[in-house]
Structure 1
Amino acid sequence: MADQSSDSSLKSVSRGASFFMAGKGLDNGLRFLLNWILVRGLGGTLFTVYTLGLVVLTFAQVFTNLGTNQSIMKFVPKYDDDPLKRRRMLGLSYLTSLVGGVTVGVAIYLAAPWITQFVDPEYQEYFVDVLRVFAFLLPLDTLISCFGSLFKSLEMPEYQVLIRNILTPLLRVVGVAIAILLGFALIGTVAATVVASAIVFCLAIYLVVEKSNLKPKFGASRKEMIEFYDFSLPLTANQTGQVLASKVDLLMVGFLAGAYITTQDAAGIYKIATVLAGILLLPLSAFSQLFPPIASKLYNNGKMDDLESLYKRITRWTFTLGLFPAIGATIYAHELLVVFSDSFAQEGTSVLLLLVVAQLANVSVGPSGYVLMMTDHHYLTLVNQWMLGVCNVVLNYLLIQQFGLIGAAIATASVIITINTLRIIEVWYMERLFPYSRRYIKPVLAGAVSAAVMVGTKTVLEGYVTGLGSNAVVALIQGAVGGVLGLVAFAGVLYLLGIEQEDRDFFAENLPT
């Protein structure tokens, strides 16, 4: 019975992952295209200003959301048998996000001149207007994020993927491209981004009304409000620490660029490196779409064996799926950055390599953070994030002064690796759950063979493709050929070593024939 329950949970998570992988694959492609259009259309300096504006909003969104995303995923499945309480919790989430989004948006608009004092003087001419236009994004994006979390909690991942991973990047690409083609400068491009989000917001409301069959109800009781905010407010502090641990590097690169970093367009280069390294998180993000509500349900029902089985298999899958792109990004780091510009490749290759190592550590621990959160250890996750967030700020400040742009990557990679090691230890100590086994030997061997194939391919092709076009064209040819051959080698070795029987059984039962 336990195995059947575990497989049922894994089937739900895998269904969410399959939708997300398809949508996120398109999302990554569109965001890659968006950044390429911005770099080529605006130039390195204005792209850096655009990037810094979005980073400031990333910090602000922690306080607009106030933990409501995770609260929706916690309480909607938890009160499945109490529809009225479920609706009141949802209404509380929406109201909290709306008030938070408007309040913080107004604060950003008014504080824009003060914030601008801290950026490089080269960017100050544009930054006030950029922040003020982007401030209109806050309530829109906060509520859009809530709508996506609702669909995740209802195990309807296709609509969450449609909203967040297809409509949002697609409309931003279209809006930005039109703005640049019409000759609009930076502010017009920022305004196009806001308009795109407004359109997504309207479409998301339509989908929620038509597909969810769960309408919010306002007027939560005092007891319900205490329960809600006892969960969400610690998560707000937790998310603040998470942003400090994972995104403060980009903000500090932008704000310290003039004083300690001599690299031209440092924040733009660092942004592209984070986007490319972030592709490695696709498998983990995919399986995390439905893992939190299902983990919450298993934990609340006392099914710890099923939770452990689910945790182990998802962690092994995310590691396996993340390993190959990590190896490819390491071998072809220079070629990936050349696609944007030669200067980005010259200055950003080492940064990309460090961030790739960090994100591989992320996917190697699977959904460990969600395991802690959904087993009622959210205060522990709060301590984790703040401790490491503060360390990230301090390390970035010290290492940027000492080493410049590469110092930010060293600091952040160290923090990401540390936090993931700590999560594994804590999950074991608190719940006696451990995801690793000898089964990891197979993907490691497959990765080693694929690395050898890609290195060999790159060496052989260098003598033939040089001179066939620009550096970007040559890089694309090398990356495409090497990537395909490396993937064939990776998959072939996995097949020859043998697919795990539990995986064979699962896919035989759940994949269409």
Structure 2
Amino acid sequence: MADAGGESRVRSLVSIARGASLYTVGKVVSDAGEFVLHLLVSRFLGAGLYGLFAYGKTLAFTALLLTNLGSDTSILKYLPQYEDQPKKRRFLLGLAWLTSFLGALVVSVTLFVFAPTIAALTLDETGFVAVLRLFAGILFLDTLANLLYATFRAVELIEYEVLTGRILKPGLRVVGVGGALLAGASVYGVVVAMVVASAVTLIVAIAFFFNRLEIRPTLRGPHATRGTVTEYYNFSLPLTAKEAGTVMQGRIDVLIVGVFLSSTAVGIYNVSVLVSSLLYIPLLAFNQLFPPIAARLYANDERADLAAIYGATTRWIFTISLLLGLIVVVFRTEILMVFGSEFTAGTLVLTLFVVSQLFNCATGPSDSLLMMTDHQYTVMANEWVFGIANVVLNIVLIQQYGFVGAAVASAGVLAVRNLTKVAEVWYFERLHPYSRSFFKPLFAGVIAAVGMLVVSALLPPLPAVVLGAVVGIVLYAGVLFLFGIESVDRQAYEKIVGARKSAE
């Protein structure tokens, strides 16, 4: 039985690692596209107009947290949980799609109608209303696409999300926006190109769904009962309220900067936040298939496997993120200089957000684990408590310290929130992800940081970044190797290699 349990555990980790590797490829392409997109807009239009673009995009991204009304997470929970009840899966999927469609419609229309009011209260500058209305269209299209992506993930076919959302859409955006800027377009033309990219991506995702998946949503059948509907909304509505709290944490700092400061300040601040989000990639990557696998293990009462997977996944996330964070902090000025000399004013902001993202990654998929173990109301309470704290601290500190105050508020709240979630997982489920193996990346990080600082002191900026990053990676990997590979990591690696050899 122990061997069977160990085999199941490794198989689940391999599935998570497979999803993470596919997602990482897509995320690297996606983030490269985002980087080029923001670089093009900032270089061609300057910090002021870039600030308008970034502010409108942030508003749409923030609203996107609300439009699906918890449907994406509900799909990740219920499709794996009821894999042996296909009719119930179909009904729950249909309910999720209907709920998300209506939510997207209401929020998008609201943003479109109230665009003049929003502009008057924030960045009351020429052309911003038209830009906001275009972003309302993007919001509707991207909500529907995200629902399809959640369906792909729930059945562990993440490759279709990667192909459409992580490769196709950013590629279309860069080509469209680049062409618009070369043709002399301003910020309005840039956002039109993004609308087209979102529409094409949605069409391709729909085609993948109908051609590659067998499951079809329905609102009829034996499970179309009040009990099933109550079960669904008992999970999704707290998540909707949770997302409302997340809005107050996610990018509310950028929005408040726009209220109290200038579009130039928004541009500088947003670039720093954008660069720090690179550290979020490992957490997002390993969290793609962790929720459905955690939901299945919890439903089957396989707690030992769930604990082992929680610990290994968190350690993997932290190990990768720590190296990325060290590189960004050591070469922060050189990285921001790429966007333009005026953006180097955000070096302290960047450092603060890197530290907070490291706290975020060090706590692993704790948020997803709370949701998949039926503690959605706790997650909702977390988001509201820390969301309100974030809004209040941002308003107070921005007025005293400018956008550095915004960074102190948001970074501090993010760090404390994630530590709280780890404590809650332990309190409710008696699970925690930590072991002595976490000391290995910490020690390796110290050695790598020293090596990069030496290179930075001896070489000019550009060569220092290139050679310093290489030196940091080599030192980091070398120290980890000298400490020894964890047995579960070795087993997962051997299984992946064995599967590839069998495929060949």
TM-score by length of 2: 0.96
Q: Which amino acid aligns with 2:436?
A: R
- Deviation of residue 292 (structure 1)? 0.3
Q: Which amino acid aligns with 2:42?
A: V
> 1:105 aligned to 103, 108, 113, which one?
108
> What is the Cα deviation at residue 120 of structure 1?
3.6
More off after superposition, 295-304 vs 26-35: 26-35
CA distance in 2, matches of 1:503, 1:138: 40
**Whole-Å Cα distance in 1 between the matches of residues 246 and 7 of structure 2?**
35
Using the TM superposition, give the Cα deviation of residue 293 of structure 1 relative to its aligned residue in structure 2, in angstroms: 0.5
Alignment of 1:498-513 (within 5 A): 498-511=484-497, 512=500
Shift of 1:399: 0.5
1:250 aligns with 2:250: no
Candidates 34, 38, 41, aligned match of 1:38: 41
Do the aligned partners of 1:49 and 1:126 also contact (CA within 8 Å) in 2? no
**2:298 maps to what in 1?**
299
Q: Equivalents in 2 of 1:54, 1:120: separation in Å?
A: 13
Letter in 2 for 1:298: L
**Structure 1 range deviating more: 269-278 or 385-394:** 269-278
Deviation at 1:109, TM superposition (A): 1.1
1:227 lines up with 2:231 in the alignment: yes
What secondary structure, in the 3-state scheme, does the structure 1 residue paired with 2:83 have?
coil
Q: Secondary structure at the match of 1:435?
A: coil
Q: CA offsets, 1:110-168, max 9 Å, x none?
A: 111111111144xx212111111111112210010001000100001111111221112
Task: Determine the C-alpha separation between the residues in 2 that align with 1:196 and 1:221.
Answer: 39
1:389-442, Cα deviation, whole Å (9 max, x unpaired)? 000000000110111110000001110110011011111111000111111111
23, 28, 50: which one pairs with 1:20? 23
Does the Cα contact within 8 Å between 1:59 and 1:240 map onto a contact in 2?
no
| Whole-Å separation in 2 of the counterparts to 1:329 and 1:426 | 31
Distance of 2:218 and 2:258 partners within structure 1: 43
State the AA in 2 paired with 1:230: N
- Paired residues for 1:65-84 under 5 Å: 65-84=68-87
Q: Is the 8 A contact 1:292 1:370 kept in 2?
A: yes
Deviation of 1:16 after TM superposition, in Å, equals: 0.5
Query: Unaligned 5+ residue runs, structure 1?
Result: 259-263, 463-474
User: How does 1:396-407 map onto structure 2 within 5 Å?
Assistant: 396-407=394-405
The 2-side partners of 1:152 and 1:111 are apart by 34
Counterpart residue type for residue 22 of structure 1: V
Q: Specify the alignment match of 2:212 in structure 1.
A: 211
Task: Give deviations 1:338-396, integer Å, cap 9, x for gaps.
Answer: 00011101x10000000000101111011011111100000000001100000000000
Within 2, Cα distance between the matches of 1:456 and 1:118? 48
Q: What is the aligned counterpart of 1:482 among 468, 473, 479?
A: 468
> 1:50 aligns to what?
53
Q: Which residue of 1 aligns with 2:163?
A: 162
CA deviations over 1:189-244 (Å, ceiling 9, x no partner): 11111011000011110011111111111244332222111111110111121221
- 1:86 aligns with 89
Q: Percent identity of the aligned residues?
A: 42
Letter of the 2:319 counterpart: T
The answer to whether the aligner puts 1:408 opposite 2:412 as a matched pair is: no
Deviation (angstroms), 1:7: 1.1
What is the one-letter code of the residue matched to 1:69?
D
User: What is the rounded CA distance, in whole Å, between the counterparts of 2:382 and 2:187 in structure 1?
Assistant: 38
- Report what 1:466 is aligned to: none
Would you say the 8 A contact 1:339–1:476 is kept in 2? no
8 A Cα contact 2:10 2:491, kept in partner: no
Report the alpha carbon displacement of residue 509 of structure 1 after superposing the two structures with TM.
2.3
Secondary structure in 1 matching 2:17: helix
For 2:203, what is the secondary structure of its paired residue?
helix
Quote how far apart the aligned CAs of 1:53 are: 0.8
Distance in 2 between residues matched to 1:106 and 1:3, nearest whole Å = 51
* In 1: Cα distance, 2:66 partner to 2:361 partner: 27
Could you report, residue by residue, the CA deviation over 1:292-351 in whole angstroms, capped at 9, with x for unpaired residues? 011001001111111000000001111111110101111011111000011101x10000
What SS is found at the alignment partner of 1:289? Answer: coil
Structure 2 letter corresponding to 1:181: L
Q: Which residue of 1 aligns with 2:425?
A: 427
Looking at structure 2, the residues matched to 378 and 97 of structure 1 have their Cα atoms a distance apart, in angstroms, of 18
The structural deviation recorded for 1:63 is 2.9
The aligned counterpart of 1:62 is 65
Aligned to 1:340, what secondary structure does the other structure show?
Answer: coil
Paired with 2:97 and 2:487, the residues of 1 have a C-alpha distance of 44
Residue 45 of structure 1 aligns with an amino acid whose one-letter code is G
Aligned to 1:139: 140
Contact 1:100 1:139 in 2 (8 A): no
8 Å contact from structure 1 (residues 446, 490) kept in 2: yes
3-state SS, counterpart of residue 249 of structure 2: helix
Matches of 2:111 and 2:96 in 1, distance apart?
22
* AA in 1 matched with 2:26: G
Asked whether 1:115 is paired with 2:114, we answer no
Is 1:178 matched with 2:179?
yes
- Segment drifting more, 427-436 vs 249-258: 249-258
Separation (CA, whole Å) in 1 of partners of 2:342 and 2:290? 41
* Residue identity matched to 2:188: I
Could you tell me how far apart the structure 2 residues matched to 1:288 and 1:90 are? Answer: 21
Matches within 5 A, 1:366-377: 366-377=364-375
Structure 2 counterpart of 1:84, one-letter code:
K
What's the offset of the Cα at 1:501? 2.4
Deviations 1:51-75 (A, max 9, x none): 1111111232233210110011011
Further displaced range: 411-420 or 37-46: 37-46
Q: Write the distance in 2 (CA, Å) between the matches of 1:64 and 1:502.
A: 39
| Larger deviation, residues 211-220 vs 285-294 | 211-220
1:441 and 1:396 map into 2 onto residues whose CA distance is 34
Please give the secondary structure, in 2, of the residue aligned with 1:227. Answer: helix
Aligned residue in 2 for 1:320: 319
Q: Specify the alignment match of 1:240 in structure 2.
A: 244
8 Å contact kept, 1:102–1:138: no
8 Å CA contact 1:7–1:506 kept in 2: the answer is yes
Please give the alpha-carbon distance, in whole angstroms, between the structure 1 residues aligned to 2:419 and 2:129: 40
Maintained 8 Å contact 2:272/2:350: yes
CA RMSD of aligned residues (A): 1.2
Q: Give the counterpart letter for 2:298 in structure 1.
A: Y
- 2:481 aligned residue: 495
Does the 8 A contact of 1:119 with 1:255 survive in 2? yes
Q: Secondary structure at the match of 2:433?
A: coil
Do the aligned residues in 2 keep the contact of 1:315 with 1:367 (CA within 8 Å)?
A: yes
Distance 2:276 2:134 in 1: 28
Q: Which residue of 2 aligns with 1:356?
A: 354
Amino acid at match of 2:482: L
